[in-house]
Amino acid sequence: METIGNLATESLTSIIQDIVSALPGIIGAIIVLLVGWLVIKITSFVLKKILKLAKIDKVSDRVNKAQVFGEESKIKVDIAKILLGFVKWVLWLTFIIVAADVMGLTVISTEISNLLHYLPVLLSALVIFMIGMFAAKMIKKALQSVFESMGVGGSKIISSIAYYIILIFVLITALNQAGINTEIITSNVTLIIAAFLLAFALALGLGSREIVGDLLSAFYARRTYAVGDTIKTKKIEGTIEAIDGISITV
């Protein structure tokens, strides 16, 4: 009985000593987290004011009006919220690392530090992807307008194909920036796109011979004739009223 009592006493004493020795670290960690909470509140308040003065909402409106995620997409970009959220999480992770070090939990602090070091890389990859999507959307609209002005059929389909091809390469670039190996994806996608573009070029070339002929004829006509000149062919005779990209109006 005395032996059991001694063992129980020793175990209880050891537990109490462990709690007492860990208590300063726990209290220190709590203080660090409370200070972190206060710092994050103040930083968020100041950053909100700065973003409001910088009129960052107008940038968000422009991105949303550009319909980067598609015309039917319900996704709305709020750059202010994204920046605030990023800053908050970075600060929280920083204070959690300090709190873990105070408690002697080096494994936790090391892993969170690795995550914190990776965040700028991840953010840059997201920025590349967003800018790439915006640029792809602008190129799509420009191509569609050009093809429509030339009277090319299927302008919407052609511009959409160009959009998705650009988007694929933007995604691969963003993944590379994020540290993800994309060699296999890149090689396969390159082969698929090359085969598709070859087939598309052949189809477009065979289907647009008349348009190309009209373009060349109009080009040389503009160098030879002017509005008001009188011309005579086997079937037509009259005065030139207008010369556009692919035709002459008599």
Domain-wise residue ranges, the chain: 21-104, 120-207, 211-250
Averaged over 107-131, what is the pLDDT?
A: 81
User: Which percentage of the chain shows pLDDT scores above 90?
Assistant: 2
Higher model confidence: residue 38 or residue 214? 38
Rounded Cα distance, 205 and 104, in Å: 70
pTM metric for this prediction:
0.56
Report the C-alpha gap between 240 and 227 in whole angstroms. Answer: 5
| pLDDT band for position 72 (cuts 50, 70, 90) | low
The span from the CA of 51 to the CA of 45, in Å, is 10
Residues 68, 17: Cα–Cα separation, whole Å: 60
Residues 29-52 pLDDT 10s: 888 889 889 998 998 889 888 888
> Average of pLDDT values for 9-26?
67
Q: What integer is the mean pLDDT of 70-88? A: 74
More confident residue, 88 or 162: 88
111: pLDDT confidence band, cut at 50, 70 and 90? confident
Token pair, residue 76, equals: 């709305």
- Which residues, including other chains, have CB under 8 Å from residue 174's CB and lie 6 or more apart? 125, 126, 128, 129, 132
Q: List CB contacts of 245: < 8 A, sequence separation 6 or more.
A: 149, 150, 215, 218
120-207 CATH:
1.10.287
Instruction: Give 151's DSSP letter.
Output: T
Q: Is the pLDDT of residue 70 over 80?
A: no
**What's the number of CA atoms in the CB half-sphere (13 Å) around residue 105?**
16
Three-state secondary-structure class, residue 238: strand
In this prediction, residues 59-77 reach a mean pLDDT of 64
Q: Is the pLDDT of residue 212 over 60?
A: no
> What is the pLDDT confidence band of residue 220, given thresholds at 50, 70 and 90?
low
Q: Which tops the pLDDT comparison, 246 or 238?
A: 238
Higher per-residue pLDDT: 230 or 125: 125
Token pair of 248 as six digits: 């002459």
Query: What would the mean pLDDT of 178-205 be, rounded to a whole number?
Result: 71
Give the residue, 174 or 249, on which the prediction is more confident: 174
Percent of the chain with pLDDT over 70: 63
pLDDT of the residue at 183: 74
**pLDDT at position 38, please?**
92
Q: Compute the mean pLDDT over every residue in the chain, rounded to the nearest whole number.
A: 74
The residue type of 40 is I
